[in-house]
Amino acid sequence: MSGKKYVHVCLTPRLIDQYDVSDAIVVVIDVLRATTTMCVAFDHGVNHMVPVATIDEAVALGKQGYIVAGERSGEKVEGFDLGNSPFSYTREVVEGNKIVITTTNGTRAIKAAQEHHAKEIVVGAFPNISLLTQWLIEQNENVCLLCAGWRENVTLEDSIFAGAMVRRLRHNFARYQDTAIVAESLFQTANRRKRFFFRFSSHFNRLTHLNLQGEVKYAMRKDTHPVLPLMVGNALYDISHCEGDYKEYTQSLLAAQEVSA
Ligand code: 3SL
């Protein structure tokens, strides 16, 4: 039991400077849709995913055999193989492959956590909530729930998800700041009416304009893709199959990255 460890909630990457993430596992949250999509991709067998901030970086990796994925303003970037729809990341498309992905907020939040030297970075969304919270409890480390938000603003859906995580972690961690309590209270208010609350969110409106309401509904479903995407070097890998200490596995991945560099 992690007596003195804390759970912090950083409601937008803009506030990450306020947190010492070098001593915390950072959970990057972009429920609509980047981290939901990543969970789907890993559950469907993608080998690894490299999150990048810019279209140019994605295109460059595309020349090295990566499937190139990402969106801007919710729409697939012209010339890319995939957008950011969880429905596109089918087993047929992704299994055994490597993907480079750039999104408006989700991949940027991952980069922000990296730049601030997070101890570990994992990806969270409703599809992996139970496995992720259980894993965090087992790690006995500080936790920072980093909401990707929208262009550095706070978003309803990411805050609600952070609150759902706080709710589940609460009894295993000791210290909370106000933002964790804000998120948890929001979740408690929204919990049984999540669909209603999500409809208020600005990103729901953006996705509705693109006729993507089905994706919002899909993103709200819990435990549909129980994976643990963890940053190892410059890429996300699923560590959900690791029994016991996952670090041996990540060391071997890092060594392999060095050899191929
Ligand atoms: O901002 C992001 O990272 C995306 O998830 C936004 S969208 O849902 O693809 O529009």
Phi, psi values for residue 145, rounded to 5°: -90, 110
For residue 1, name the pLDDT band (cuts at 50, 70, 90): very low
Q: Which residues line ligand 1 (CB under 6 A)?
A: 30, 32-34, 71, 74, 84, 103-106, 148
Q: Which residue has the higher pLDDT, 99 or 210?
A: 99
Question: Does the pLDDT at position 244 exceed 80?
Answer: no
> How many other C-beta atoms can be found within 10 angstroms of the C-beta atom of residue 91?
13
Q: Angle CA(7)–CA(12)–CA(18) in degrees, nearest 5? A: 60
pLDDT over 90 for what percent of the chain? 84
End-to-end alpha carbon distance in the chain: 39
Yes or no: say if 15 and 189 are a contact pair by the CB < 8 Å rule: no
> Taking the CB of residue 92, how many other CB atoms lie within 10 A of it?
7
Residue closest by Cα to atom 8 of ligand 1: 33
pLDDT at 2 over 50: no
Which candidate, 8, 34, 12, places its Cα nearest to that of 147?
A: 12
Q: 207 C-alpha to center of ligand 1: Å? A: 9
**pLDDT at residue number 176:** 78
Answer yes or no: is pLDDT of 194 > 90: no
Binned at pLDDT 50, 70 and 90, residue 200 comes out as confident
Q: What is the 88 CA–ligand 1 centroid distance (Å)?
A: 14
Distance from C-alpha of 202 to C-alpha of 41, rounded to nearest angstrom: 25
Residue 3: per-residue pLDDT? 55
Res. 227: pLDDT tops 50: yes
